[in-house]
Amino acid sequence: MISKHSYIRAVFWPRLARNRFAVVGGAVVLFMLVISLAAPLIVPFSPNEINAWEVLNPPSLKHWFGTDDLGRDVLSRVIYGARISLLVGFVAAGIAVLIGTVVGLLAGFYGGLIDNLLMRVVDIMFCFPAFFLILAVITFLRPSIWYIMIIIGLTGWMGVARMVRAEVLSIREMDYIMAARCIGCSDKRVIFRHILPNAVSPALVAATLGIAGAILTESALSFLGIGVQPPTPSWGNILTSGKDYIEFAWWLSLFPGLAILVTVLAYNLLGEGVRDALDPRVNR
């Protein structure tokens, strides 16, 4: 039986590298991560620096993305907004994947009453429209980036749980799992040593796609004014500030909108590529 590390080196990476869309998506994701981490070093102006003499200036050599209604440099705000949006995406997706993986492992491994109980909870959660549930919860809380990350994560784990459960149901019937049980391995060792490493593939794909969903959700909440609050820049609240000037200051909506579009598309392309590379039924 091929080891997990050998499979990644010999099969996964070559498959992923042959998928051009996944490579492009990965390159864009890496670029966004680099500029968000290096934001303090590369931004031409402070994102909150107000300049009354340069209000609503169009894109120019000095301000590549123009300025907003307070004279702030839009490029600097978009770059700093990437830090917020990507942070929300990573943390929210991490919470969702962690909860979904644990629920899926327990439901798939033990089955019976535990499986039925956990899956009914998943079904109940699926009955509530996630975005409206987030809106309802945030209405009663003080708008905060931490609340947003936690709530998005707590409302996005159900799909991960179902995928991991399906994988575990298949793996637990394999011969090496039966052998581990026969030699007296505890449930904990069987789950974490033998099942989890082989069931992590759907969780990895869900994490990649979940980041894109979390970025969209955060941008929508910020656009509605109940997400990240000004003056902290996020792509959503930059869009909000530009909607009143869209007829003559198009750059205020265009550039943050393009940032959201490109980033979400890149994560989706990368996630699809990872899923294909991990699927043994796909021949590439």
For the beta carbon of residue 24, count every other beta carbon within 10 angstroms: 15
Q: pTM of the entire structure?
A: 0.84
Interval 20-34 mean pLDDT: 92
d(CA 283, CA 280): 7
Quick one: fold of 4-39+80-223+266-278?
Answer: MetI-like fold (1.10.3720)
45-74 tens-digit pLDDT: 888 888 888 888 899 988 899 998 888 999
What is the rounded average pLDDT for all residues in the chain?
Answer: 84
